[in-house]
Amino acid sequence: MEKLAILRLFSAILYALSSFLIVVINKIVLTTFKFPSFQCLAIGQMITTVLVLGFARGFRLINFSLDAKEMLIKIFPLPLIYLGNIMTGLGGTKKLSLPMFTVLRRFSILFTMILEYIILKVRPSNWIQLSVFSMILGAIIAASDDLAFDIIGYIFIFGNDVFTALNGVIVKKKLENKEIGKYGLIFYNSFFVIPFALIYAFLDQEHVKLAEFTSWNEPLFILSFLLSCFMGFILNYSVVLCTHYNSALTTTIIGCLKNMIVTYSGMMIGGDYIFSWPNFVGLNISILGSLFYSYLTFFQKLNKEKIIDYTLIKKNIADA
């Protein structure tokens, strides 16, 4: 029992740290060092994911199918959604300050709620809807006085919200097929996308930007770049681990708390946040909405567990 408690704590801490660090490290690479190609950073994260999971399977630490053709049919169109998700996410990170990036990412919750209703026929409670709309209201207030407004950055982040929502809803449906598995899904999402990402980067002259980049000989940049590539895999792995040893609820709440830290620390990291009172108030309204959402989700889960426990007690009494 003590070992299980340690594993639960470790997996939660690992997810919290990796989720926070990847946003900060990506920001350092793309903004502080002015790395010119978020496409190449995305490709680096994909290649690292494929290599790490490939080696792990080779050493029999994990297992997933090696029938690429069969897996492509089973998981399609997730690789395309994954490509759009990672590209728009890194593009938004490069163009926007961390506080605005984090608060505008809350629209993905609204889009997910809408898609779950359309595709999965799941309707959240009125209180959950209220908490989501309060997050969106805060984001709109913050955006209305964003002194560092960048239209391209906003397009990237709203695209990222749509891709994140699509990814979350479709992954739920795909994972109902036990033959796919979480590791196979992560591996093949990257594996199938890498060739297309390389072709796109070449056609977009990204190799020219890389040749002109002057910080390749800086040890701190090299370390940050490699950490970003590796953290892309660690984040995916930590989500699986945290959900396995704890619950999806714990993962959601940790993600919410991480977003709070990113929002406030992001005012100092990157050097591109411009303070204004309306913007700051909007950020805080969105954060309060996020905390309210976590609170409601937590007690909703508790009530479900109580109902399940009560049903089991009735069944045991009847069986006796």
**pLDDT greater than 70 at residue 270:** no
Give 223's pLDDT tier (boundaries 50, 70, 90). Answer: very high
Q: What is the mean pLDDT of residues 82-103?
A: 79
Start-to-end Cα distance in the chain: 29
Cβ atoms 283, 99 nearer than 8 A = yes
**pLDDT at position 205, please?**
85
Quick one: average pLDDT of 256-284?
75
pLDDT in the model for residue 1: 52
- For 137-166, the pLDDT digits (tens) are 888 888 787 767 778 888 888 888 888 778
Tokens of 35: 């790395």
The pLDDT value given to residue 318: 38
Q: Is the pLDDT of residue 210 over 50?
A: yes
Q: Indicate the average pLDDT of the chain.
A: 78
222: pLDDT confidence band, cut at 50, 70 and 90? very high
The Cα–Cα gap between 289 and 120 comes to 24
Closest CA to 72 of 215, 211, 213, 185: 185
Q: Do 213 and 41 form a contact (C-beta atoms < 8 A)? A: no
- Is pTM beyond 0.85? Reply is no
What does DSSP assign to residue 28? I
Q: 22-60, pLDDT tens digit by residue?
A: 888 888 898 888 898 888 888 998 899 999 999 988 888
Cβ–Cβ < 8 Å for 36, 212: yes
Higher per-residue pLDDT: 226 or 241: 226
Task: Answer positive or negative: Cα dihedral of 188, 236, 295, 313.
Answer: positive
Helix, strand or coil, per DSSP, at residue 267: coil
Task: Provide, rounded to the nearest whole percent, the portion of the chain with pLDDT above 70.
Answer: 82
- The string of DSSP codes covering 81-119 is HHHHHHHHHHHHHHHS-HHHHHHHTTHHHHHHHHHIIII
pLDDT at 312: 36
- Determine the pLDDT at residue 313: 37
As a whole number of angstroms, the distance between CA 40 and CA 21 comes to 19
pLDDT one-digit tens code per residue, 293-315: 777 766 665 565 554 443 433 33
pLDDT given at position 250: 56
DSSP SS3 for 313: helix
